[in-house]
Structure 1
Amino acid sequence: MVVALAGAIALFASGTVALPAQEVLVVRGMIGSKRDFFQDPEVKRLLMAHRIQVQMTPVGSRELVNRDDLDDYDFVFPSGQSMVEVVYERRKNKSTNPYRPFFTPIVLATYADYARALRDAGVVREQGDGDGLYYDLSVPALIKVMQQGRFWSDLGTGNNNRVITQIPDPCRTYSGATYVGMLAFALNDNHPPTDDEAAVRLAREIKPLLDVEGQHGDDHAPKYLAPDGRTFGTVVVIYEHQFLAHQLAVVERTGQPDRTRALLYPEAQHETAPELLAFTPAGNRLGHLISEEPALRRRALELGFRVLGPSGETSDYGALSEHLRARGLPTPTSGIGDTETWLPNRKLLERMILEVGGCA
C-alpha cells in the first residue's frame, strides 16, 4: 500500500494521473531535420505533462515549404532562414508566429583515423582543447583534395575509395543545399555568387564533387552514428547537435566519450536558424512551451542544441558549453565564430541546386 500510494503521489505531481480525465491537445506539424527533438521520449513525456501530443509529418525542409497541404498544419519547423521566408511568402496575410528555441551549426562528421589523415594532409587542424574530438576544417583545402581525385589510401589509410563528402539530397534538405552554398563560397574567394552566370559556373564546378557519391540520401546522422557507420561513409554532412547528443549519451552510459568519431567545423561556418512557425493557437501553445518551459529548454541542451533565450535572444549561447563541461566533455571552440559562410540569395541558390541536383 505504501508503494502504491507513493506511486500515485508521484503521478499526481507530474500531472500524468490527471491525463485520462483531461483532453490531450494534438498538435500537427511538418518538421525538417529538427524532428529528432520531438521524437525524443523525454520531450514527449514533458509535453504530455502539459497535455500536448505532437503529431509529426517528417519531411525535408526544402520539400516541406512547397507542400500543397502547408496550411492544413498547426505549425511547420523548417531549417534555415531562406526556408522560413518561403513560408511567410506563401502565407501572406495569414497568421504566422515565429519561435526560435535553439540553433545548431552545420558540420562534417568523420572517424578519428580519417580525421588524422586529413590533418596530415593539411585539410583540418585539431582544436587545442578538443581532446581529439573536434577539428577546424579548411573547405578550400578539402575541395582541392576532392578535385585532385585523391583516394583515402593516398592519405595513408587502408580505404581505397575516393575522398568525398556525402551529403543529404540538396533538392530536398536544407543541409544539403547549404553545403552546396558553402562550397560555392569557398570556390569564389569567400564571396557568394551575385549573378546567374557566376552561380551556374560555380554549380558546374561543384557538381562533379557530388556526383561521385551517386544517389543522395536524407539524414545521414543515424547511419553515421550506427555501430557499423564506417561502412556507410567516411565524411558526412550533419548537424552539430546530432554528434553532441551521441557523445552525451555515450558519456552517461560508459563514463567516456566515443573517441572513434570526430567532428569537423568549417572555418567559415554556417549556423542554421530553425524557426517553429505557428499557424494556429495550438501551434502557438507548443511554440511557447519549447521556447520558455525550463524542463524542455534543459532537455534541448541534453540533446546537443545551442539554446536561445526565451524570446529568441542570444543570452544563453554559453549554456551548452557549461552543460558539456559539467559532464566531462570538451567544448568545441568553433560553431560560433567570427567568419561565416554567406549563402547566395534564394533565387541564385535555387538555380545552383537545380544545376547540381537536377531537381525541379
Structure 2
Amino acid sequence: MREPEFKVVDPRRRFLLWFVPPLAVFVTGLVVLLVSGHITGPFRSVTVVRALFASKRDFFQDEQVKRILMARGYQVHVTPIGSRDLADKPDLDSYHFVFPSGHVANEHVKSRRAGKHVVPYRPFFTPVVLATFREHAEALVRARVATAHDQGAQPLYYNLDMAEFTKLSAWRWSDYGLSNGNRVIAQSPDPCKAYSGATLVGFVATAFGDDPPQTVEAAEELARKVKPFVDAQGQAGEDMAPKYFVPEGRTHAVIAVIYEHQYIAYQLRQKSIDTERVLLYPTKQHQSTPELISFTPEGDRIGELMMNDPDLRRRAVELGFHSLGWNGETGNDFGSYIAGRGLPEPPAGEAGRVQLPKAELFERMLDVVGECK
C-alpha cells in the first residue's frame, strides 16, 4: 500500500485566491463611478437656490430635471404659488429667482425690482388650451362652433370659435345629443390667482371685439361683459389638469382650461395614445411664455442652464414644452420628438393671437371679473 501524501497549501496563495476576484470587481466599479461622477457627487459643493414658482413648477419638480441640476451643482428649492400672489409676495427679494406664468405677473415683478438686479430668461413656451373629451368636441362640431384640425378618423386637436362658443352658454350638452344636462361652459382656475384662469378672461373678451381696451374705463366695461361667462363655471379650482386627467375626469369638468404641455406630457406617458381626450384651440390663441426672472448670480446661473444646457432643453421638450432660443426663435425639436412618439404635432401658433390689454389694464379686468380685491 502507498503511504498517504500530505499536501501543504501556502496560506498566502489561498488568501489571494479569495481576495483578488472581489478586489477586481471593486476596482472596476470604482473606475466606472469615478468616470460617471457618481462617487464624487456627495462630496461636491451643492448650491441651494430658492425660487417661487407658478404653474410651471412641474418642470423643476421633475426627477430627471432635479438630477441634471444636481449634477451641475445646484438644487432648486420649489415654493409653489399662483402667479398673481407671486408678484405681490412681500418677501419677494428673499428668493434667488421667480418663475411666474404670464406677462401681467412678469411686468409687476420687474416693476417691483426697479433699480435692482433683474435678468429675465425665456426658455420655452406653452399655449393655453381648452381640454375636453371626444364626445363633447364632436358635439361642438355639430353645434358649428368647432372644426377638426386633424384629418384622421380620430382627431386629437380641434379649432374653436370663441365668439360662437360663448353663445352656447345658455344651452346644455343634452341639446346636442349627449346625456349630460349641464351647461356648455369651460372651467378654469381662479383668474385672480392662476394665469390660465386669467387667459380664459382674455379668450372670452375676444367675443366682444378684437381691439383690447386702452383706458381703465373701457377695461372695466369689457370686464363686466365677460364676467357672467366666468361666473357661470361656479367654484373655481387652483389647477384643472389634475381633475381632467383622472379616470373620472368627465364628472369634474368636461371642458377644462389647461396648458398644452400638460396634455402632451400626459400623452407621452401613456402606453398608447388616449384618443378620448382631445384639445380645443381657440381661433385666436394665447401662448404662455413664462419668464425665469433672476434676482441673484445664482438665479442667473439657473437661467443660463435653462437656455444652454442640452440635457435640460431636451427634458423640457419631453415634458411637452416648445423650446425657445436666446433670440426668441422656436426650436424644431418639439415637433420631431412627439412625432417620433406617434403623437401628431398640435396647431400651436398656426392661428391668430389674442391681443391682451396692457398689464395694468388687464389686471383691472381681472379685479372686476374675479372680484379679486
TM-score interval, normalised by the smaller of the two chains? over 0.9
- Which residue pairs with 1:330 in the alignment? 344
Are residues 1:134 and 2:157 paired? yes
- Tell me which of 329, 334, 351 is aligned to 1:314: 329
Structure 2 residue aligned with 1:155: 176
Q: Compute the displacement of 1:8 (Å).
A: 4.6
Equivalence for 2:364: 351
Return the alpha-carbon distance in structure 2 between the equivalents of residues 62 and 102 of structure 1: 20
Listed as ranges, the gaps of 5+ residues in structure 1 are: none
Normalising by structure 2, we get a TM-score of 0.90
Residue in 1 that maps onto 2:108? 86
Letter paired with 2:248 = D
Q: 1:307 to 1:111 in 2, by over 3 A?
A: same
How far the C-alpha of 1:3 sits from its partner, in A, is 6.8
Task: Report the alpha carbon displacement of residue 271 of structure 1 after superposing the two structures with TM.
Answer: 1.0
Matched, 1:181 2:202: yes
Q: 1:86: Cα distance to partner? A: 1.0
Q: Which amino acid aligns with 1:71?
A: D
Aligned to 1:200: 220
Cα distance in 1, alignment partners of residues 274 and 26 from structure 2: 40
Between the two proteins, what is the percent identity of the paired residues? 48
Equivalenced residue count is: 350
Letter paired with 2:318: E
Selected match of 1:223 from 243, 253, 258: 243
SS of residue matched to 2:159? strand
Aligned twin of 1:283: 299
How far is the alpha carbon of 1:116 from its aligned partner? 0.9
- Who is 2:273 aligned against? 257
1:312, CA displacement in angstroms?
Answer: 4.5
RMSD after superposition: 1.7
Partners of 2:223 and 2:143 in 1: how far apart?
26
Q: Which has the larger radius of gyration?
A: 2
Cα distance in 1, alignment partners of residues 29 and 251 from structure 2 = 46
Runs of 4+ in structure 1 displaced over 6 angstroms? none
* 1:259-274 alignment runs, 5 A limit: 259-274=275-290
Structure 2: gaps of 5 or more residues: 1-21
Query: Superposed, which structure 2 residues align to 1:111-122 within 5 Å?
Result: 111-122=133-144
**Partners in 2 of 1:299 and 1:129 — Cα distance?**
29
Does 2:40 align with 1:18? Answer: yes
Tell me the amino acid that sits aligned with residue 61 of structure 1.
S
Distance 1:185 1:87, change over 3 A: same
Matching residue within 234, 240, 245 for 1:214: 234
User: How far off is 1:7 after superposition?
Assistant: 5.4
Report if aligned partners of 1:32, 1:58 keep a CA contact under 8 Å in 2: yes
Structure 1: distance between partners of 2:85 and 2:161: 30
1:172 aligns with 2:190: no
| Residues 7/202 of structure 1: CA separation in 2 closer, same or farther (3 Å cut) | farther
Which amino acid in structure 2 is aligned with residue 50 of structure 1? R
Taking structure 1 as the reference length, what is the TM-score of the superposition? 0.93
Amino acid at match of 2:207: A
Is the alpha carbon distance of 1:312 and 1:69 closer, same or farther for their aligned partners in structure 2, counting shifts above 3 Å?
farther
Q: For residue 303 of structure 1, what is the aligned residue in structure 2?
A: 319
Residues 13, 216 of structure 1: CA spacing in aligned structure 2 closer, same or farther, 3 A cutoff?
A: farther
- State the one-letter code of the partner of 1:232: H
| Conserved 8 A contact 2:171-2:183 | yes
Tell me: CA distance 1:3–1:286, structure 2 relative to 1, closer, same or farther (3 Å).
farther
Per-residue deviation at 1:227?
Answer: 2.0
Deviations 1:35-89 (A, max 9, x none): 0101111111111111211101101111101100110000000112232111111
From 145, 150, 154, the equivalent of 2:168 is 145
1:156-192 deviations in whole A, cap 9, x for unaligned?
A: 111111111111111111111121022112222x221
SS of the residue 1:65 aligns to? helix
Measure, in 2, the Cα distance between the counterparts of 1:166 and 1:8.
55
- Is 1:233 paired with 2:250? no
